[in-house]
Structure 1
Amino acid sequence: MSVTSPPRQGALRPVIENRPIRFPDTRSRSMMTKRAWWLVVLNVLIPGSAQVLAGNRRLGRFGLAATLVSWVLVVLTVLTFVMWREVFFGFATNWFVLLLLQGLLIAYAVLWLILTIDTLRLVKLVKTGSLARFGIAVAAIVALVLTGGGSVWAAERVGIVRETIGIVFAESGPPVPPSDGYYNILLLGADSGEGRDSMRYDSISVVSVNADTGAVTITGLPRDMVNFPFAEGPMADLYPDGHTGHVDATCGWSSGLNQLRTEVEVCRDGSALYPDAVANGSEPGIEATKDAAEGILGIEIPYYVFIDMAGFANLIDALGGVDITVTERLPKGGGPAYDGQPAEEWAIGWIEVGEQHMDGDTAQWYARSRYTTSDWDRMLRQRQLQEAILAQFTPENVLARFQDIAAAGTALIATDIPQSLIGYFADLAVKSREQPVTTIELTPSSVGGIGVIPEEMTASDFAFIQDYIQNVLHPPTPTPTPTS
């Protein structure tokens, strides 16, 4: 029986040399032009394939492997977002993962640059048609700018997210589980903007987020409320019968809720009252206000978010402005110089009635104005602005204005929410956009009609408020009507 010998290496050479991509006929300009376009297109669609077909196979295999890994990561990312959104946000807000992703994006952009330059070498432009030569080079460069530049742009955005998380959110601290199915967060707005001589809490509210559905309830607290109880802690020890009788020109000129920061941090040893506050990303004055809000509402409030109104305008400008329906004409300005001075004399401008697209400066005055109305009206306007700002946080708007929003956010926001909870809260934020926001204002015309008057609150009023809050957060299940 005869054995057929395998063909010698030389016998395969005619077959190999007939492959025009690797071994083209350089004398044919039309073939070289067609080949050049194929290589450029393949380099864009499947980076590394041009080298595998016509150049350094080792470099090509590396490029193909990197491309395959990138495609797999993109598919896994999409699947994770669709099927396990909380896991997606957990990775997307993890400092180390963001740093790794930023490095991979930069590395891939460099690899794309190398592959594009090598592809231009392989196409042998001088052998292509004179008109096509220019078009092929321009197409390769444009493709590089769009693809490699896109990777660099994405790496820059990832870096901004990583830096913002590191600046705004606490690095450590164990996450606190939800209380009765809710995460309750104290939201403080302190105004040290133009026209103010000090910082004080002008806006105090509690945001309650349902830990399962993301439904949001915002409860506004009057800043001038007095006689309020404290949750168990150092302030409750100082004021077992409620915060009352404290009037001091230095430590706070009233017993109002918004005077706690001044009292605790100026006239008391705040570090002794709350020794762990600073280490946990908070302040003694904030912790005292937390204890007060817990005592008033009867709910646990583990975290706070502080917004400096001096940077409030920058955030609204970064978002492109907000849309507000103004129901009464409001003056801009620091207020009258003497009792009874007409607003026309001291106002530096006016916010007119009707549909308004407000920039940051106008929105800030809209939130501050109270001299021609009341603090209750101002509380409602502040809540209206909060909802308008939330409405502007659409994915499209955030992506388009990402850098400005991140810069504004780091300048005006502080919080003790730990980084480990960012992904979870981001998932809840997505869920909350699908539902209306419930607002509760502790004003004379609200809260079940009891008529909350901050200067005349009693223990029975606070008990009623606590029951009311519980019924809003945990509405009773309706009893089914019996059928006859």
Structure 2
Amino acid sequence: MTHAPTQPSPRRSRRAPSGRRSARPPRRRRVWRWIALSLVLFVLVAGGVGYWLYSDLNGNLKGVDINEAIGDDRPEKLPTSGQNILVLGSDSRSGENAGLGTGKVAGARSDTALVMHVPQGRTEAVAVSIPRDTLVTRPACTGKDGAEVASAKRVMFNSIYSQAGPACVVKTVEQMSGIRMDHYVEIDFAGFKDLVDAIGGVTVTVEEDIHDPSSGLDLTAGTHKLNGTESLAFVRTRHGVGDGSDLGRIGLQQQFMLALLSEIKRQDLLGSPTRTYKIADQLTAALTTDSDLASLTALAEFGRSLNGVDPSSMETVMLPVAYDTQDPNRVVAARPQADQLWEALRRDEEIPAAAKKSPAKGGSAS
């Protein structure tokens, strides 16, 4: 896996309840931080738009009643559990997404998955990415059409979205982690493409040529300004970098999303009402949330509640995984590392260093 070097930026170390300082996670391991930060940026912007824009932007949002779909079969909400948000990047190859890349994928997939944990007090945050190729046990759940979906073992994580819908993905994450998800946020990749085009593209630097017919990405070594379609191919590519696995692709996605955040900051979108509306329009059209967040008012209120979280202090790790013994092209949660990681989040404790290590090649989270 190769990607351009980045310069470290000043940041505050996270502290455990006991006051112990943790090692600063390398910049290259900040998995999916862009999703959480883009959401926070949006809700802060949404809180300041004029009322006359409210109905247009509010009408873009789509909501899913997670509580109704899952019912009472959920982990207990612990007093120390803080706030937990499941963030998915959905990747449908139908409709607007049909021409985005050359890969043939039936239906929709949760191409990226992130559990964002905000501890009590909301001054710090941890983001845990779940590799899409992870084999999991899908619990019995209610599908998106209201029909019952039977439990199944050794199901690839990213297939659950298309098989049974977002509520079943939430239930799967809750059962594998033992952590109750307070909210659900989904970003559609077609909307992601439009968002990049709305800000005029994103600049990235690659150290080696990347040629991936599956994603349609064809870049020579050097610096490139990517449009929306090229950006989508960049974050989708896997066969042209590293060992060709999902773990290798994560590095490119991290690099791109940090570049996206830098571009948003450089353009000072908050200082341009017209551009702010354009960005907000694209982002709300791409968003699906749980029903409790499915309005501008709710999103803005949630965003304001996160004002105390310093993005520069966000710690990002990957769920520790090992190669599956039956299928080396798939991974499974590594034990006991994964259990240690989820337990630390449940209790709002410092994540042990051992829980950030993955036996799978390229999967170290620290």
The TM-score normalised by the length of structure 1 is 0.48
1:396 equivalent to 2:268? Answer yes
Change beyond 3 A, Cα 1:427–1:355: farther
1:202 equivalent to 2:74? Answer no
The answer (yes or no) to whether the contact 1:214–1:428 under 8 Å persists in 2 is no
Matched AA of 1:220: S
1:184 equivalent to 2:84? Answer yes
For residues 199 and 120 of structure 2, the distance between their equivalents in structure 1, rounded to whole angstroms, comes to 27
Alignment of 1:440-451 (within 5 A): 440-442=317-319, 447=320, 451=322
1:427 equivalent to 2:304? Answer yes
Change beyond 3 A, Cα 1:349–1:466: closer
1:165 to 58, 83, 92: 58
Alignment of 1:221-300 (within 5 A): 221-228=130-137, 230=139, 238-239=150-151, 243-244=152-153, 255-264=155-164, 285-300=165-180
2:210 to 323, 330, 351: 330
The structure showing larger relative contact order (alpha-carbon pairs under 8 Å, at least 6 residues apart) is 2
For residues 173 and 228 of structure 1, the distance between their equivalents in structure 2, rounded to whole angstroms, comes to 19
The answer (yes or no) to whether the contact 2:160–2:168 under 8 Å persists in 1 is yes
1:408 equivalent to 2:282? Answer yes
Instruction: State the match for 1:468 in structure 2.
Output: 341
Change beyond 3 A, Cα 1:326–1:210: farther
Change beyond 3 A, Cα 1:327–1:431: farther
Change beyond 3 A, Cα 1:392–1:164: farther
Instruction: State the match for 2:359 in structure 1.
Output: none
Matched AA of 1:377: G
1:436 to 313, 317, 320: 313
Post-superposition shift, 1:465?
A: 0.8
SS in structure 2 at match of 1:474: coil
For residues 368 and 476 of structure 1, the distance between their equivalents in structure 2, rounded to whole angstroms, comes to 29
Post-superposition shift, 1:355?
A: 4.3
Aligned-CA RMSD value: 3.9
Change beyond 3 A, Cα 1:161–1:181: farther
The answer (yes or no) to whether the contact 2:108–2:162 under 8 Å persists in 1 is no
Aligned pair count reads 274
Change beyond 3 A, Cα 1:431–1:318: farther
The answer (yes or no) to whether the contact 2:192–2:286 under 8 Å persists in 1 is yes
Change beyond 3 A, Cα 1:393–1:436: farther
1:350 to 199, 202, 218: 218
The answer (yes or no) to whether the contact 2:87–2:116 under 8 Å persists in 1 is yes
The answer (yes or no) to whether the contact 1:211–1:428 under 8 Å persists in 2 is no
Change beyond 3 A, Cα 1:178–1:452: farther
Change beyond 3 A, Cα 1:178–1:222: same
Instruction: State the match for 2:228 in structure 1.
Output: 360
For residues 289 and 199 of structure 1, the distance between their equivalents in structure 2, rounded to whole angstroms, comes to 13
Q: Percent identity among equivalent residues?
A: 21
Post-superposition shift, 1:367?
A: 0.6
Matched AA of 2:317: I
1:212 equivalent to 2:85? Answer no
For residues 305 and 259 of structure 2, the distance between their equivalents in structure 1, rounded to whole angstroms, comes to 18
For residues 296 and 172 of structure 1, the distance between their equivalents in structure 2, rounded to whole angstroms, comes to 21
Change beyond 3 A, Cα 1:234–1:380: same
Q: Cα deviations across residues 133-176 of structure 1 (Å, max 9, x unaligned)?
A: xxxxxxxxxxxxxxxxxxxxx75xx43345323432659999x9
For residues 421 and 179 of structure 1, the distance between their equivalents in structure 2, rounded to whole angstroms, comes to 23
CA radius of gyration, larger in:
1
SS in structure 1 at match of 2:312: coil
Q: Cα deviations across residues 429-484 of structure 1 (Å, max 9, x unaligned)?
A: 54434533322123xxxx3xx746584637xx45531322343652189xxxxxxx
The answer (yes or no) to whether the contact 1:351–1:362 under 8 Å persists in 2 is no
The answer (yes or no) to whether the contact 2:340–2:351 under 8 Å persists in 1 is no
Change beyond 3 A, Cα 1:297–1:392: farther
Post-superposition shift, 1:427?
A: 2.2
For residues 170 and 196 of structure 2, the distance between their equivalents in structure 1, rounded to whole angstroms, comes to 27
Higher strand share: 2
Higher helix share: 1
For residues 179 and 165 of structure 1, the distance between their equivalents in structure 2, rounded to whole angstroms, comes to 32
For residues 412 and 317 of structure 1, the distance between their equivalents in structure 2, rounded to whole angstroms, comes to 14
For residues 171 and 288 of structure 1, the distance between their equivalents in structure 2, rounded to whole angstroms, comes to 11
The answer (yes or no) to whether the contact 1:220–1:441 under 8 Å persists in 2 is yes
For residues 350 and 197 of structure 2, the distance between their equivalents in structure 1, rounded to whole angstroms, comes to 38
Change beyond 3 A, Cα 1:355–1:177: farther
Q: Cα deviations across residues 219-244 of structure 1 (Å, max 9, x unaligned)?
A: 111212224365x96699943xxx42
For residues 349 and 455 of structure 1, the distance between their equivalents in structure 2, rounded to whole angstroms, comes to 24
Instruction: State the match for 1:6 in structure 2.
Output: none
Post-superposition shift, 1:189?
A: 1.4
Matched AA of 1:396: D
For residues 303 and 214 of structure 1, the distance between their equivalents in structure 2, rounded to whole angstroms, comes to 18
For residues 56 and 79 of structure 2, the distance between their equivalents in structure 1, rounded to whole angstroms, comes to 30
For residues 149 and 128 of structure 2, the distance between their equivalents in structure 1, rounded to whole angstroms, comes to 26
